[in-house]
Amino acid sequence: MHGFNNSWLYLQELMQNYQIIFVQERWLSSSKLSYLNEVSSDYVAYAVSGMNEACSTGLLRGRPFGGVAVLCHFTISNCAEFVGASDDGRVITLMLELNASKFLLFGCYFPCDDYSSDFSNVVSAVLGYIESVADEYPSIKFGVLGDFNFECNKD
């Protein structure tokens, strides 16, 4: 989204065509996550801030960053269930049940590859969270979607 304030009109446009919307880079602190529920009364939002650690250290410097959310239309509320989110605000998980089949959907915000050890650590944390949740539901298929921030290739 490159910030909630910059993209809420685009979010309203998406809501006219989709019943489940995963978003990344909302740039909202935990105290402002309720803004997502104010975009449309037809949707319920589940969200986690990516700014908790930065906000807890005092004055926030630079631009805001991170955060993931999923918005679900009320017509599918009986088949969609919020499972949880990672503490760092990089992964949010929704379980969807359609025609007696269950799916875990992971909305992810991967870091940009800056060739640092921090990049590797963050990617490992994201994948570790996905693995830990998937392990809790061994017979359920899952999908990983979102902002990968790197080119995926077969190698």
CATH number at residue 87: 3.60.10.10
Average pLDDT, the chain: 81
Reply yes or no on whether the pLDDT at 135 is more than 60. Answer: yes
Residue 61 region by backbone torsions, left for phi larger than 0, else alpha for psi between -120 and 50, else beta: beta
Residue 155 lies in a domain: no
CA angle (134, 135, 140) in 5-degree steps: 55
Residue 97 structural domain: 4-147
Q: Does residue 152 belong to any structural domain of this protein?
A: no
Residue 112 lies in a domain: yes
Query: DSSP label at 53?
Result: H
* This model's pTM is above 0.85: no
Q: Per-residue confidence at 53, pLDDT binned at 50, 70, 90?
A: low
Rounded Cα–Cα distance for residues 83 and 106 (Å): 10
80, part of any domain: yes
What is the tally of structural domains in the chain? 1
